[in-house]
């Protein structure tokens, strides 16, 4: 990746996303939202959107602005757009949260929060789709990881469209079509968001990152293509078939069940490929980020198994919150934190030492981190997630708050490690700042 332009604002996206994650964990530890209140309560909706937009979506957007150009070996279509895009997304999220607080009676100020939030978030995600879409379109034919990202971007468009519909309904619209979608479309919104936008995109990027960081071969074989096609069809069935079922008065549960089976096939094929990547790697010592990514993948397998078992037992609806929690924090957040532990030092190393490679001695990427110090925070994080998931299954709110507090402590520990790597704290003094190297800015890259 040496020679590839760094995204100037990717670190800013990561920083804002991590702040949102810490805020969400603070709120969960304090008993804000589910399970202290109902899953549909305004407090829960506020918490869910801090996690889904503030943490996971901003993390994904920041990563894609950096790695889509790497996936397709082509520059980002417009490098000036990520900052105003971030402004729209953050402003839209804040207004949306204010709308939920007003809905819950926490604030009493007359303002059209939900329509404004829908406009700002739609504009922000439209800029994301435009910038990344133009980048991908110009680089056709696309490698397999980039095709996963394309599916993820279509899913993001569906997720945002449904979310904007819900916001307009909450804002008071009386349009019958929008009311019909809002009354039944929540499962489609969740499937498109968690399954399509976040999971499908994460799978595509992970195909490239796991191979790159473990020195394993890039995959484009039958199983990888099978995972892509089955996942794409699953999402099409869930979104298109689901909307048609709503308007035609069909069986939405049957449509989503069919989509779930196709999604299960995609996860199984993806899991087989991941095992191959770990076995075929040339880097024999598995670094901490790859070991922790393995735990995140185990959580994806656990969540998939739970969905099958609960559906078979007729108890999925009763435990859906626990499963969604495991997907959001065990799989997506676990993968995100583990990959940040590699991505931030890697991008910092490129920014600082890339220009002087071959001209002066430089540290290795691994010299920017201390794995023995960081591992305890990751282990605590994953044990806390499993404890929190169990507490949700057992309907034990106080135990959930305790586990959420442990997640918060672990996340703070991980964030401290990320800041230390960005500030070059662990690099030996003799190699830290040779001639021609400037200490990196914490929140953005100096690279254009």
pLDDT at 283 (0 to 100):
81
Contact 419, 327 (CB under 8 A): no
pTM of the entire structure? 0.95
Average of per-residue pLDDT across 220-227: 92
Q: Is the dihedral of CA 389, 391, 397, 399 positive or negative?
A: negative
pLDDT at 134 over 90: yes
Cα 97 to Cα 103, 119, 198, 402, 411, distances in angstroms: 10, 14, 21, 25, 23
Structure tokens at 267: 């996860």
pLDDT at 1 (0 to 100):
55
Question: Coil, strand, or helix at residue 346?
Answer: helix
With residue 69 as reference, give the H or E element that holds it. helix 58-72
**Band of the pLDDT at 447, cuts 50, 70, 90?**
low
* High-pLDDT (> 90) share of the chain, %: 78
pLDDT at 172 (0 to 100):
86
Mean pLDDT value across the chain: 93
Contact 428, 406 (CB under 8 A): no
**Band of the pLDDT at 313, cuts 50, 70, 90?**
confident
pLDDT at 86 (0 to 100):
98
Average of per-residue pLDDT across 299-319: 88
Average of per-residue pLDDT across 330-339: 96
pLDDT at 312 (0 to 100):
79
Cα 304 to Cα 199, 236, 272, 275, distances in angstroms: 12, 19, 14, 17
DSSP 6: P
Q: Tell me the H-state helices in 109-143.
A: 113-138
With residue 58 as reference, give the H or E element that holds it. helix 58-72
Output 56 or 286, whichever has higher pLDDT: 56
* High-pLDDT (> 70) share of the chain, %: 99
Average of per-residue pLDDT across 328-336: 97
pLDDT at 132 (0 to 100):
98
pLDDT at 56 over 60: yes
Share in percent of the chain as helix, strand, coil (round to 5): 75, 0, 25
Q: Is the dihedral of CA 72, 217, 233, 85 positive or negative?
A: negative
Average of per-residue pLDDT across 438-444: 91
């Amino acid at each position: 990746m040496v020679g590839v332009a760094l995204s100037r604002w990717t670190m800013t996206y990561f920083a804002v996303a991590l702040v949102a994650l810490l805020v969400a964990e603070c709120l969960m530890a304090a008993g804000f939202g589910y399970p202290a209140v109902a899953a549909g309560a305004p407090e829960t909706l506020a918490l869910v959107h801090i996690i889904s937009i503030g943490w996971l979506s901003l993390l994904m957007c920041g990563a894609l602005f950096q790695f889509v150009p790497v996936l397709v070996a082509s520059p980002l279509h417009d490098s000036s757009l990520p900052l105003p895009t971030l402004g729209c997304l953050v402003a839209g999220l804040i207004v949306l949260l204010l709308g939920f607080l007003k809905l819950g009676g926490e604030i009493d100020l007359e303002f059209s929060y939900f329509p404004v939030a829908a406009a700002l978030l739609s504009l922000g995600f439209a800029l994301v789709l435009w910038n990344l879409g133009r980048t991908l379109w110009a680089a056709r034919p696309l490698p397999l990881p980039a095709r996963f990202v394309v599916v993820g971007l279509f899913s993001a468009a569906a997720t945002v469209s449904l979310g904007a519909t819900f916001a307009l309904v909450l804002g008071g619209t009386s349009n019958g079509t929008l009311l019909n979608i809002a009354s039944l479309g929540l499962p489609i919104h969740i499937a498109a968001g968690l399954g399509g936008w976040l999971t499908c995109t994460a799978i595509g990027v992970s195909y490239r990152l796991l191979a790159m960081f473990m020195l394993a071969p890039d995959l484009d074989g039958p199983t990888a293509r099978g995972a892509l096609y089955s996942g794409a069809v699953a999402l099409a069935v869930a979104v298109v078939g689901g909307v048609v079922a709503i308007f035609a008065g069909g069986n939405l549960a049957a449509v989503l069940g069919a989509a779930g089976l196709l999604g299960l096939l995609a996860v199984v094929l993806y899991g087989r490929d991941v095992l191959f990547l770990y076995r075929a790697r040339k880097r024999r010592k598995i670094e901490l980020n790859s070991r922790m990514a393995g735990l995140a993948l185990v959580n994806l397998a656990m969540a998939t198994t739970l969905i099958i078992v609960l559906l078979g037992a007729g108890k999925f609806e009763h435990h859906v919150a626990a499963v969604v929690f495991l997907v959001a924090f065990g799989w997506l957040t676990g993968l995100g934190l583990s990959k940040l532990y590699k991505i931030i030092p890697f991008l910092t190393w490129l920014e600082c030492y890339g220009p002087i490679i071959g001209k002066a001695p430089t540290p290795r990427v691994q010299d920017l981190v201390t794995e023995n110090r960081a591992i305890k925070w990751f282990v605590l994080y994953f044990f806390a997630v499993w404890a929190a998931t169990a507490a949700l299954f057992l309907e034990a709110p106080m135990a959930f708050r305790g586990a959420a507090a442990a997640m918060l402590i672990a996340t703070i520990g991980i964030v401290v490690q990320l800041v230390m790597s960005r500030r070059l704290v662990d690099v030996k003094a003799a190699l830290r700042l040779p001639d021609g190297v400037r200490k990196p800015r914490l929140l953005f890259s100096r690279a254009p």
